[in-house]
């Protein structure tokens, strides 16, 4: 029984994105710590009147940080760095003006917003891209602190926290990359392994079936010609004509040359999928196709149309709402059902939060496939992409993995 799972690289991206979310969470914690520490420090110094300005700047950076962490797309991260750096610099200048000895005496308070600039990234990413984002955040943080030290006339001091945060995040990404690399070496790519195994099985089956056909036709016919009379009777000639028809027919072409007999539904599905992919490629969405099949699987025509429309609708949602530039359409089949998975690594969404009046997903995919006799499952969460899984029962298989032809009977 085939189990639908996320593609290997897609799963790796989801896991790697967890490090990015961890960095965002740490940055938010840093900004939350600013509020009580700021209020307590200025009250102890007898400067309560100086609280509102740095507090407002800190809260503005915290709000900006929360929005960027929620979206976690490149444009949102760059926007946070562009707007968060001035807020961070303004906070540092306000604290230094209120507490002339803040550097280095209250450095913990001064550099919290600078640390919060480092914990940036996108949720679905590679380890190298994740490291590049935190290095960019660290660079912005250091430049901001340097500008503040020049404007305030104070010694340049970032403290240990930014460097420690940078080193810890890089170590997390690097460790995860090493684990993934070792896992790839130890755990095979099951899709590739299945394809190679299937090819080997078909090669062995081809040899066996070819030998059987040759034995039943060519060798027997040669024996008849060699041992038979000079003039062949009608029965013998009929036998030779039947053997010749076998060797030139669709079954022998399939056995000897791997040429599948033409199938109208299979050709229509392939053409429809090719048209969909071409359309979305032109519109800027890269679509990858993967999966293997043991033969030509026949589904109810209405279900075929519904699943094709469901693929198009799912890819339309990816293009319009996910923020992703690529998606994967994976096909799988066993002797009972065909499964199609449309996967993206974009923004994702909370299924429970989808309002009832938003009928796009329910009407364009779920109801359409279910009404035609199939089933649909949707998996998604904010920041982790979306997977739409459609399945439909097989009516017949005209070319099975043993190479035999089945005449379209219901299974």
All structural domains of the chain with their residue ranges: 8-186, 193-257, 264-397
pLDDT at 410: 40
Cα end-to-end distance, the chain, whole Å: 16
Give dist(CA 323, CA 71) in Å, integer: 10
Task: Classify domain 264-397 by CATH architecture.
Answer: 2-Layer Sandwich (3.30)
Contact assessment for residue 231 and residue 366, using Cβ atoms and an 8 Å cutoff: no
Lowest mean pLDDT among 136-145, 187-196, 252-261, 351-360: 252-261
Q: How many CB atoms lie within 10 A of CB 321?
A: 16
Percent over 90 (pLDDT), the chain: 27
The pTM (predicted TM-score) of the whole model is 0.55
Residue 296 makes CB contacts below 8 A (sequence gap 6+) with 260, 263, 265, 266, 397, 398, 399
pLDDT at 199: 62
Which uninterrupted H or E stretch holds 153?
Answer: none
Strands 326-333 and 286-291: parallel
The pLDDT tens digits for 7-51 are 555 556 666 777 888 889 999 999 999 999 999 999 999 999 999
Q: Which residue has the tokens 């899709």?
A: 191
The pLDDT tens digits for 356-402 are 555 556 667 888 899 889 999 888 878 778 889 999 998 776 554 44
Task: Report which DSSP code applies to 343.
Answer: E
The pLDDT tens digits for 205-251 are 556 655 655 555 555 655 565 555 666 666 666 766 666 565 555 45
């Amino acid at each position: 029984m085939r189990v639908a799972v996320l593609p290997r690289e897609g799963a790796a991206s989801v896991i790697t994105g967890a490090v990015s979310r961890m960095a965002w969470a740490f940055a938010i914690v840093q900004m939350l710590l600013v509020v009580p520490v700021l209020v307590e420090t200025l009250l102890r110094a007898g400067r309560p009147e100086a609280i509102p300005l740095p507090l407002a700047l800190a809260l503005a950076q915290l709000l900006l940080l929360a929005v960027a962490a929620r979206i976690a797309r490149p444009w949102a991260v760059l926007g946070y760095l562009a707007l968060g750096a001035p807020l961070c610099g303004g906070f540092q200048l306000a604290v230094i003006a209120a507490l002339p000895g803040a550097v280095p005496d209250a450095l913990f308070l001064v550099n919290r917003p600078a640390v919060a600039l480092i914990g940036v990234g996108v949720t679905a990413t590679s380890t190298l891209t994740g490291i590049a984002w935190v290095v960019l955040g660290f660079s912005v943080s250091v430049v901001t602190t340097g500008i503040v030290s020049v404007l305030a006339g104070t010694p340049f001091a970032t403290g240990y926290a930014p460097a420690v945060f940078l080193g810890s995040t890089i170590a997390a990404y690097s460790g995860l990359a090493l684990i993934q690399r070792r896992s790839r070496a130890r755990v095979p790519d099951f899709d590739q392994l299945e394809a190679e195994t299937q090819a080997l099985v078909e090669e062995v089956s081809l040899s066996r079936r070819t030998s059987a056909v040759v034995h039943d036709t060519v060798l027997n016919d040669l024996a008849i010609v060699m041992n038979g009379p000079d003039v062949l009777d009608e029965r013998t000639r009929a036998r030779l004509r039947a053997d010749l028809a076998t060797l030139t027919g669709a079954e022998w072409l399939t056995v000897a040359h791997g040429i599948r007999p033409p199938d109208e539904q299979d050709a229509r599905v392939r053409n429809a999928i090719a048209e969909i992919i071409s359309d979305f490629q032109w519109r800027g969405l890269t679509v990858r196709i993967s999966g293997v099949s043991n033969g030509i699987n026949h589904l109810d025509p209405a279900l075929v149309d519904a699943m094709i429309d469901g693929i198009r609708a799912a890819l339309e949602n990816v293009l319009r709402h996910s923020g992703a530039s690529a998606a994967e359409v994976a096909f799988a089949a066993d002797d009972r059902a065909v499964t199609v998975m449309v996967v993206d690594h974009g923004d994702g969404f909370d299924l429970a939060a989808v309002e009832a009046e938003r009928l796009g997903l329910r009407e364009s995919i779920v109801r359409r496939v279910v009404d035609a006799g199939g089933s649909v499952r949707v998996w998604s969460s904010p920041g982790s992409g979306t997977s739409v899984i459609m399945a439909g029962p097989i009516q017949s298989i005209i070319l099975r993995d043993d190479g035999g032809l089945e005449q379209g009977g219901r299974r």
